[in-house]
């Protein structure tokens, strides 16, 4: 088990590094995909089988594909898309030093002796193998918790998703770019049309 | 220490999660491409989720799984809205460098 954990840890850290260092956003997406798959396997070793599947379906299937669509849409016909944004901002070096110091503090804090917290009341005691029904982390167990104890948070997720859908329609829908009043939006559209016509010449 | 008999000690999950989180922080600071910055934010979400799942397993409590589920939902909503903003900003200025998007700077 420890071989699996450390192997996955190496994959997770390496793919995370590749994500932030890749020269093109598409490479970042591929590295992030490897990261999400390794994380899903790690979830399986932690008997969170439902979350492992959610990780693959929602993150790899939906979010990363959304990223790919946007990259494909923005980079078509724009040669400089992946060249310009790679230079470092001026604050990068001190900021990264601060981040490393913070990371060092976190690691020191992690390995300091902690008082053992008390087990939570009502915790299930059965942690069977992955795939068993009715043990901790199984789909039945997760669903029971989701639709009984945590029904309200689950319903709040519906609200969050609806806000996201409405927000995207407002931002990028038929009347986009929506800037201020409808008249202002019409002006923006007109100037954009002119700019596009100039590009065509 | 842990009633759930984790496959590995909890500090190992904590350390892995911290490293992943700070790689994400570094990505947000260093990169100027908004898409890579958003992917770094996803990395941070995932580091937090890993801790939720590890602690849920350590204490055999479903609350961590539910919270990780919520975080995934919020991440999906955030990615959709942020990518829409990137698209309209790109449409408006033909530029994807976040340093150039300074129209709202005071």
Q: Write down the pLDDT at residue B1.
A: 39
- The CA distance from A62 to the nearest CA of chain B, in Å, is 8
Q: Write down the pLDDT at residue B2.
A: 43
Where on the phi/psi map is residue A134: left (φ > 0), alpha (ψ -120 to 50), or beta? Answer: left
Q: Mean of the pLDDT values across residues B26-35?
A: 85
Going from the C-alpha of B62 to that of each of B3, B16, B49, B66, the distances in angstroms are 14, 22, 13, 6
Is B69's Cβ below 8 Å from some Cβ in A? Answer: yes
Rounded to an integer, what distance in angstroms lies between the CA atom of residue A192 and that of residue A169? 19
SS3 content of chain B, % helix, strand, coil (to 5): 75, 0, 25
Q: For B15, which residue in chain A has the nearest alpha carbon?
A: A107
Residues of chain B in contact with residue A71, where contact means CB-CB under 8 angstroms, are: 35
Q: Write down the pLDDT at residue A138.
A: 80
3-state SS assignment for residue B44: helix
CB B48 within 8 A of CB B71: yes
3-state SS assignment for residue A128: coil
Q: Write down the pLDDT at residue B73.
A: 94
Q: For A125, which residue in chain B has the nearest alpha carbon?
A: B60
What is A61-87 written as a DSSP string? IIIHHHHHHHHHHHHTT-GGGGTGGGS
Q: Which of A102, A110, A145 sits opposite B62 (nearest CB)?
A: A145
Q: Write down the pLDDT at residue A79.
A: 46
Residues of chain B in contact with residue A120, where contact means CB-CB under 8 angstroms, are: 59, 61
Indicate the CATH number of A1-76+131-149 among 1.20.120.1200, 3.40.50.720, 3.40.190.10, 3.30.450.20: 1.20.120.1200
Asked whether the beta carbons of residue A1 and residue B8 sit closer than 8 angstroms, the reply is yes
Q: When comparing pLDDT for A110 and B43, which is higher? A: B43
Q: Which of B2, B25, B39 is the best mutation test for A, with the most CBs of A within 10 A?
A: B39
Is B25's Cβ below 8 Å from some Cβ in A? Answer: yes
Q: Mean of the pLDDT values across residues B79-104?
A: 76
* Cβ-based burial of B16 (10 A; exposed 0-12, middle 13-18, buried ≥19): buried
Going from the C-alpha of A201 to that of each of A194, B94, B99, the distances in angstroms are 11, 17, 29
Q: Write down the pLDDT at residue A16.
A: 94
Mean pLDDT by 10 residues, chain A (201 residues): 89 93 88 95 90 92 91 66 54 79 80 63 51 70 89 93 90 62 68 78 63
In tens, the pLDDT along A156-185 reads: 999 999 999 998 888 877 665 555 556 666
- The domain locations on chain B are 10-93
Strands (E) located in B6-105: none
Q: Write down the pLDDT at residue A185.
A: 66
Q: Write down the pLDDT at residue A83.
A: 44
pTM, 2 dp:
0.79
Per CATH, the number for B10-93 is 1.10.287.3510
Asked whether the beta carbons of residue B92 and residue A91 sit closer than 8 angstroms, the reply is no
ipTM value of the model? 0.88
Q: When comparing pLDDT for B50 and B104, which is higher? A: B50
- The domain locations on chain A are 1-76+131-149, 158-201
Q: Write down the pLDDT at residue A78.
A: 53
Number of C-beta neighbours around residue A174 at 10 A: 6
CB B56 within 8 A of CB A41: no
- The CA distance from A146 to the nearest CA of chain B, in Å, is 7
Q: Write down the pLDDT at residue B60.
A: 82
């Amino acid at each position: 088990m420890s071989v699996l954990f450390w192997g996955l840890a190496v994959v997770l850290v390496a793919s995370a590094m590749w994500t932030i260092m890749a020269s093109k956003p598409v490479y970042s997406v591929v590295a992030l995909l490897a990261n999400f798959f390794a994380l899903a396997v790690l979830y399986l070793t932690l008997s969170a089988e439902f979350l492992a599947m959610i990780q693959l379906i929602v993150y790899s299937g939906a979010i990363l594909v959304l990223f790919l669509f946007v990259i494909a849409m923005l980079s078509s016909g724009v040669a400089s898309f992946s060249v310009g944004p790679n230079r470092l901002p001026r604050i990068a070096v001190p900021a990264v030093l601060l981040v490393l110091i913070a990371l060092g503090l976190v690691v020191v804090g992690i390995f300091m002796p902690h008082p053992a917290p008390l087990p939570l009341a009502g915790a299930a005691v059965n942690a069977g193998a992955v795939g068993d029904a009715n043990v901790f982390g199984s789909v039945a167990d997760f669903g029971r918790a989701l639709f009984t104890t945590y029904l309200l948070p689950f319903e709040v997720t519906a609200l969050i998703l609806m806000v996201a859908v409405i927000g995207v329609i407002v931002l990028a829908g038929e009347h986009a770019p929506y800037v201020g009043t409808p008249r202002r939006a019409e002006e923006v559209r007109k100037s954009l049309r002119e700019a596009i016509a100039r590009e065509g010449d | 220490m842990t009633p759930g008999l984790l496959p590995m000690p909890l500090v190992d999950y904590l350390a892995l999660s911290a490293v992943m989180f700070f790689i994400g922080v570094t990505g947000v600071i260093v990169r100027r491409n908004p898409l890579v910055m958003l992917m770094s934010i996803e990395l941070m979400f995932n580091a937090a989720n890993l801790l939720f799942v590890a602690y849920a397993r350590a204490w055999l409590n479903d609350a961590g799984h539910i919270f990780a589920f919520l975080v995934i939902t919020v991440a999906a909503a955030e990615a959709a809205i942020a990518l829409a903003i990137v698209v309209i900003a790109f449409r408006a200025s033909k530029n994807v460098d976040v340093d150039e998007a300074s129209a709202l700077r005071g």
